[in-house]
Amino acid sequence: MKEESKAETNKVAKDKNRRVPNDIVLQQPIPPDGDWGWVITFASFMVGFLVDGVAFTFGVFFKEFVNHFGQSKGATSWINSVLNGTYLTIGPLASGLVNLFGCRKVGMLGALLSAAGFFLCTFSPNIEAMIILYGFIGGMGFGFLYLPAIVMVGQYFEKRRALATGIAVCGSGLGGFVFAPLCEYLLSEYGWKGAMWIISGIILNGVVFASLFRPLESMNTITVSTDDSTCGLENDVTQNDVNLQPVKIMVWDENGVEQGVFSAGDDELKNTKEQQIYKWRSMELTEIKMQEEMARNYEIAQLCFSQDLEIQPKTRQKLRQSRELRTSPLIRKDVFYSGSIQNIPEFKNAKNKTEFVRSMTRLDSESSVIGGGRRCGVFSDLFDFSLLKSPTFVVYGVSCLLCMFGFFIPFNYIPVLAYDFGMTASEGAWLISLIGIVNTLARLLVGYVSDKSWSDPLLINNLALTIAGFSTMFVPFYSLYEILAFYCILFGSSIAAFVSLRSIIMVELLGIEKLTNSFGLVVMCQGLSSFIGSPIAGVLSDYTGNYKASFYVAGASIALAGLICFPLRRIARWEKNRNEQRSESVIVQQENYPMLEKTSRIVSGKS
């Protein structure tokens, strides 16, 4: 035994340059539920105002684009369809960039990209270039700008998240209300090219709003030291040849508040004899090389003030990565949840706010580990294709796909339909404005109602989509302006319910643990559907010579999206019971055949 210990000591002494364990996980900042969060809410409101204000008013330019490029309605529809589709499907890439560079930088990049796309599209020699510049570049910029705006609100708010999110998303409806008459005025005064230049300048304000996305920093940091003058944690480990699993040491201050998590791996535990933890406020973590005389007895990681010892270049990089990962909103499981946090079981069961934040943080995720493999695991989080095995998710995903197929068709074709009915271009633009302002008010109302214990978000969603769908099917018969205006009120309020309740419904049906995974796949389905919805409606209009078939198809898809969700809660209940029965069956099998279980573990190399 002594020889083994001596050999181990010699091995440690030779490795004088051993670094600090890579898998140190720092505490996720606790949302302040106010303060700078209200500035974030305002910035997010204005981002939605810009992004959806432009996206919803393409119909004002539609007839002008058809005449300028001399293309069919179906071909011209691709301009805005590519913008909307890219804007939605670019979300996973935007999420990865947010994890790497933060919300502020990605948002500012998005504003610059979209402004450049709308400015350069005026020089397009053909419709293909217009689709690339206006549609793809503009849509990519909008995606990079909009996603940080949404997740930043979730990072700064918990108890007041429903209120803050409700205020932020109202910018979308207000944008449609303001931009529709504004674009019609700019089009009549300066032509479509002059209007695009002015809109490009307006979008540049997104750089200013994105610059307000200040990362939420943790109030305290933790250092590890070996000085004998403070109280520490002893972690005596016997030295043997067994495989030791990483052990996480929770550090608490004198008030019982958790301050951080330290994790030691296999090699560290075999040789670590004593570990002492210091708590300092506003201290930066740095790393030094081991002292040779200390290495004779045990292997230890030492952290100290940066002003006392030389900082290795690699250490600076790891510390920077640590701060980025610790403040990244995308390691929160509830980052896409727009409802009140107080309504979910995890919040009700948590003893305090710190415990809830810890339960919502992916401590075991690859994205929260410094130097422990991939720098960003957000793509695997957003695309968990095992969800496709869930009947509940498949039904809801198909519903979202059908809804988004017809979602943008009224926005694109109501102005031109009104013109065909003998109405002025200004009256057609005001119909889009009406959808926008009603959408704003309805989002506030739906958000308020959905937080009540007596409300049923799934039923509200289903009824709203069904009503919106059937009313859209009859749009070609609304030849009077007053009837079209009433339809716009109905449609604007219905789509507000669909947009506002998505994350709430997914949490109810699938749980908060699956929100990020399901949300990523659902948004991807919506983006793909948005790519083809308006072009198909345009092709039908070219083929039939009117817009009747376009609105028939749009209305049918939206109505079907609502109808198939009525049995969804029953499907979710059946799936939950099935999974519980399977789990019980596995437990019984393991109890009845323990030797078989042990043999399978040995074969798989787990013991």
| Contact of 487 with 434, CB cutoff 8 Å | no
- Residue listed under structure tokens 């919300």: 103
Q: What confidence category does residue 311 fall into, taking pLDDT thresholds of 50, 70 and 90?
A: very low
Q: What is the per-residue pLDDT for 606? A: 44
**Residue type at 399 in one-letter notation:** S
Cα–Cα–Cα angle for 322, 328, 333, rounded to 5 degrees: 120
Please say if the pLDDT value at position 265 is more than 90.
Answer: no
Beta bridge partners, 277, equal 224
**Residue type at 500 in one-letter notation:** S
Beta bridge partners, 280, equal 221
247-252 and 258-264 strand pairing? antiparallel
pLDDT digits (tens, 9 = 90+) for 322-348: 444 445 555 665 555 555 555 555 555
Between residues 49 and 588, which one has the greater pLDDT? 49
Q: What is the per-residue pLDDT for 258? A: 44
Q: What confidence category does residue 204 fall into, taking pLDDT thresholds of 50, 70 and 90?
A: very high
**Poorest-confidence range of 156-160, 271-275, 467-471?**
271-275
CA atoms within 13 Å, Cβ hemisphere of 218: 24
Q: What confidence category does residue 96 fall into, taking pLDDT thresholds of 50, 70 and 90?
A: confident
Please say if the pLDDT value at position 304 is more than 50.
Answer: no
How large is the average pLDDT for residues 491-515? 83
The residue among 537, 531, 463 whose CA lies nearest residue 501 is 463
Please say if the pLDDT value at position 91 is more than 70.
Answer: yes
Q: What confidence category does residue 300 fall into, taking pLDDT thresholds of 50, 70 and 90?
A: very low
| Contact of 360 with 331, CB cutoff 8 Å | no
Q: Which of 344-353, 426-435, 587-596 is most confident?
A: 426-435
- Mutual orientation of helices 161-203 and 58-69 as an angle, nearest 10°? 30
Q: What is the per-residue pLDDT for 259? A: 44
How large is the average pLDDT for residues 548-562? 93
Q: Which of 28-32, 304-308, 457-461 is most confident?
A: 457-461
- Percent helix / strand / coil, the chain, rounded to 5: 70, 5, 25
**SS in 3 state form for 456-488?**
CHHHHHHHHHHHHHHHHHCHHHCCCHHHHHHHH
DSSP character string of 492-532: HHHHHHHHHHHHHHHHHHH-GGGHHHHHHHHHHHHHHHHHH
Could you tell me what percent of the chain has a pLDDT over 90?
27
Q: What confidence category does residue 592 fall into, taking pLDDT thresholds of 50, 70 and 90?
A: low
Between residues 341 and 407, which one has the greater pLDDT? 407
How large is the average pLDDT for residues 358-381? 47
Q: Which of 92-106, 196-210, 364-378, 521-535 is most confident?
A: 196-210
Q: What confidence category does residue 454 fall into, taking pLDDT thresholds of 50, 70 and 90?
A: confident
Please say if the pLDDT value at position 217 is more than 50.
Answer: yes
Q: What confidence category does residue 50 fall into, taking pLDDT thresholds of 50, 70 and 90?
A: very high
pLDDT digits (tens, 9 = 90+) for 134-163: 999 999 999 999 888 888 887 787 777 777
Q: How far apart are CA 380 and CA 394, in angstroms?
A: 19
**Average pLDDT of the chain?**
73
Q: Which of 117-121, 146-150, 330-334, 526-530 is most confident?
A: 117-121
Q: What confidence category does residue 285 fall into, taking pLDDT thresholds of 50, 70 and 90?
A: very low
Find the helix or strand (DSSP H, E) in which 313 lies.
helix 313-327
How large is the average pLDDT for residues 69-98? 88
Q: How far apart are CA 452 and CA 18, in angstroms?
A: 56
The residue among 116, 105, 83, 80 whose CA lies nearest residue 201 is 116
**Poorest-confidence range of 71-85, 145-159, 394-408?**
145-159
Between residues 215 and 320, which one has the greater pLDDT? 215
Cα–Cα–Cα angle for 16, 19, 25, rounded to 5 degrees: 155
Q: What confidence category does residue 303 fall into, taking pLDDT thresholds of 50, 70 and 90?
A: very low
Show the tokens assigned to 178: 């303001």
Distances (CA, A) of 557 to 341, 478, 528, 533: 32, 20, 15, 10
Q: What is the per-residue pLDDT for 329? A: 57
Between residues 300 and 146, which one has the greater pLDDT? 146
Q: What confidence category does residue 353 fall into, taking pLDDT thresholds of 50, 70 and 90?
A: low
Q: How far apart are CA 529 and CA 404, in angstroms?
A: 6
Please say if the pLDDT value at position 412 is more than 80.
Answer: yes
Q: What is the per-residue pLDDT for 310? A: 43
Quote the radius of gyration of the chain (alpha carbons, Å): 28
Q: What is the per-residue pLDDT for 520? A: 74
Q: What is the per-residue pLDDT for 376? A: 46
Q: What is the per-residue pLDDT for 13? A: 45
The residue among 412, 379, 410 whose CA lies nearest residue 524 is 379
The torsion of the CA quartet 557, 562, 566, 569, rounded to 10 degrees, works out to 110
Q: What confidence category does residue 547 fall into, taking pLDDT thresholds of 50, 70 and 90?
A: confident
Q: What is the per-residue pLDDT for 525? A: 82
Could you tell me what percent of the chain has a pLDDT over 70?
62
| Contact of 198 with 186, CB cutoff 8 Å | yes
Q: What is the per-residue pLDDT for 474? A: 92
Q: What confidence category does residue 123 fall into, taking pLDDT thresholds of 50, 70 and 90?
A: very high
Between residues 465 and 249, which one has the greater pLDDT? 465
Please say if the pLDDT value at position 182 is more than 80.
Answer: yes
- Residue listed under structure tokens 């590519």: 82
